[in-house]
């Protein structure tokens, strides 16, 4: 419905422009009035501009495509610029003829009731169309309709000037109040004023169109948006960079900023949502692209640094221990690598991790990396129910075995995998829970031959 209303407004301007042009040309030629002829030329230009507006409105409403990823909104600016150029050309033509009538061959045109009538009709039609187009331009945020409204407003003002000049001529022919030199030139002076008004409108339209085509934005818009985005919690304020462009009335905003690299992906996404909300308070319909970069922040914990570097290298580490002794920081960690790597291949990866850590940790840091093979593929397995029952029966003789609630045994290519579930009081410190699970794991390794992995999981007692 919005497209139809927008095009209907442009189409109605075409009809109005055609009507006024025909009327003014007929009366202007019949009376010889340069002012009316100039108004006819102006209305003809408005007709051409209205037709151009109808075309560019249609083009601007086409959806984005491969060649125009930001849409076709610039068509309205091009149309407005073309209208400005036509307006300037017509105004210069009128000024030239006005110069001849004022300084070379002054003459008094014939003034009839039709002269006044056509101009009064023009004022009424121009007023109605300008008001309708302004309303439509505001509703649809259309630069092309706004330019068309400016044309009809200018046409209305020009018609009023022509009525004034015709009034001066009428008074001059009936009385001696107005000097003969003014009477001879009143019509041409009115035409020149119409042309001057047209040049002023053309300047305003052209300036706006060029600014839009050059993607000019309000000088303080970027600063305002940057200041508002910097208030968003958890991002690094001084890292915020914003670029804004407009295609027609559609705003496109590119915003880049940094967050602490220890932040999770989900938390970073929530920050980006808050950034979008802040920008849309200023530009409600903006199309926003957010670029987030991880950054090291002052006071970052050593553990966060180590995990961030591992993530950047695409490797997984666990069993991280940080020890601070008199001679510096000690880092102990397990590096998970595919089980099909050779020692030489694994060593290359571990050295890359070590060198990256040494660049960001204190110079005194000593880094110990334990290589742990992990088969990251899905392994075929056979559940061993008899083995699980045997282990459950033997748990009574193991220290802490009463905490075990379930044992599942699987036979895989490299041996036996045990999944053990335990239950402990919910108020028990996690350190104690870990020690007890480690004790159970150690005892089970001695009890079950060919065990390749034991996974112990703890639940709070009901």
Give the separation between CA 45 and CA 92, rounded to whole angstroms: 13
Q: Which CATH number fits domain 221-295: 3.30.70.1350, 3.30.420.40, 3.40.190.10, 3.50.50.60?
A: 3.30.70.1350
Q: pLDDT tens track of the chain, all 462 residues?
A: 344 355 666 666 667 667 777 777 777 777 676 666 766 776 676 677 777 777 777 777 777 777 877 777 777 778 778 878 877 887 888 788 788 878 877 766 666 677 777 778 878 887 887 888 788 777 776 766 777 777 677 778 777 877 887 787 778 777 777 777 776 777 778 778 878 888 887 888 788 788 877 777 777 898 999 999 999 999 999 999 999 988 767 889 999 999 998 888 899 999 999 999 999 999 998 999 999 999 988 888 899 999 999 988 989 998 899 998 888 899 999 999 988 889 999 999 999 999 999 998 988 789 999 998 887 778 889 999 998 898 888 887 888 889 999 999 999 887 889 999 999 999 999 999 999 999 999 888 888 877 888 899 999 987
Domain spans of the chain? 2-213, 221-295, 302-374, 382-460
> What's the CATH number of domain 382-460, 3.30.497.10, 3.30.70.1350, 3.40.50.1820, 3.40.50.300?
3.30.70.1350
Give the closest residue to 101 by CA, choosing from 38, 153, 171, 52.
38
C-alpha span between 7 and 132 (Å, rounded):
13
**Do the domains 221-295 and 382-460 sit in the same CATH topology, yes or no?**
yes
CATH superfamily name and code, 2-213: Cation efflux protein transmembrane domain (1.20.1510.10)
Return the CATH fold of 302-374: Alpha-Beta Plaits (3.30.70)
């Amino acid at each position: 419905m919005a497209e139809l209303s927008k095009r209907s407004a442009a189409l109605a301007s075409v009809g109005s422009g055609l009507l006024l042009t025909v009327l003014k040309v007929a009366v202007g030629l019949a009376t010889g009035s340069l002012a009316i002829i100039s108004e006819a030329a102006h209305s003809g230009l408005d007709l051409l501009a209205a037709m151009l507006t109808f075309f560019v409105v249609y083009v601007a409403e086409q959806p984005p495509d491969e060649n125009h990823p930001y849409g076709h909104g610039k068509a309205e600016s091009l149309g407005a610029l073309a209208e400005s150029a036509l307006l300037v050309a017509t105004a210069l033509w009128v000024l030239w003829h006005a110069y001849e009538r004022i300084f070379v061959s002054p003459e008094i045109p014939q003034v009839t009731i039709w002269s006044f009538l056509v101009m009064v009709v023009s004022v009424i039609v121009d007023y109605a169309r300008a008001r309708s187009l302004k309303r439509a331009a505001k509703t649809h945020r259309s630069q092309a309709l706004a330019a068309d409204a400016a044309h009809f407003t200018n046409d209305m003002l020009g018609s009023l000037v022509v009525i004034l000049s015709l009034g001066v001529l009428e008074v001059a022919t009936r009385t001696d109040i107005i000097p003969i030199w003014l009477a001879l030139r009143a019509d041409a002076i009115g035409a020149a004023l119409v042309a001057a008004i047209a040049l002023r409108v053309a300047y305003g339209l052209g300036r706006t169109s060029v600014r839009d085509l050059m993607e000019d934005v309000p000088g303080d818009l970027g600063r305002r948006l940057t200041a508002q985005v910097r208030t968003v919690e958890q991002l690094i304020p001084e890292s915020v960079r914003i670029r804004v462009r407009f295609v027609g009335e559609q705003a496109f905003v590119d915003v880049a900023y940094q967050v602490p690299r220890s932040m999770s992906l989900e938390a970073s996404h929530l920050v980006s949502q808050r950034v979008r909300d802040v920008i849309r308070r200023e530009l409600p319909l903006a199309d926003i692209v957010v670029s987030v970069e991880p950054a090291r922040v002052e006071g970052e914990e050593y553990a966060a640094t180590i995990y961030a570097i591992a993530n950047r290298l695409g490797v997984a580490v666990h069993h991280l221990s940080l020890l601070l002794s008199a001679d510096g920081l000690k880092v102990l960690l397990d590096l998970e690598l595919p089980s099909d790597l050779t020692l030489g291949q694994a060593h290359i990866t571990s050295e890359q991790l070590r060198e990256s850590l040494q660049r960001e940790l204190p110079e005194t840091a000593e880094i110990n990396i334990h290589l742990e093979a992990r088969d990251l593929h899905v392994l075929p397995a056979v559940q061993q129910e008899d083995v699980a029952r045997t282990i459950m029966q033997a748990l009574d003789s193991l220290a802490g075995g009463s905490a075990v609630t379930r044992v599942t045994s699987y036979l895989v290519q490299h041996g036996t995998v045990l999944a053990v579930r335990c239950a402990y009081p919910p108020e028990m410190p996690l350190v104690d829970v870990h020690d007890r699970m480690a004790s159970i794991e150690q005892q089970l390794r001695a009890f079950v031959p060919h065990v390749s992995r034991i996974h112990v999981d703890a639940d709070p007692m009901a």
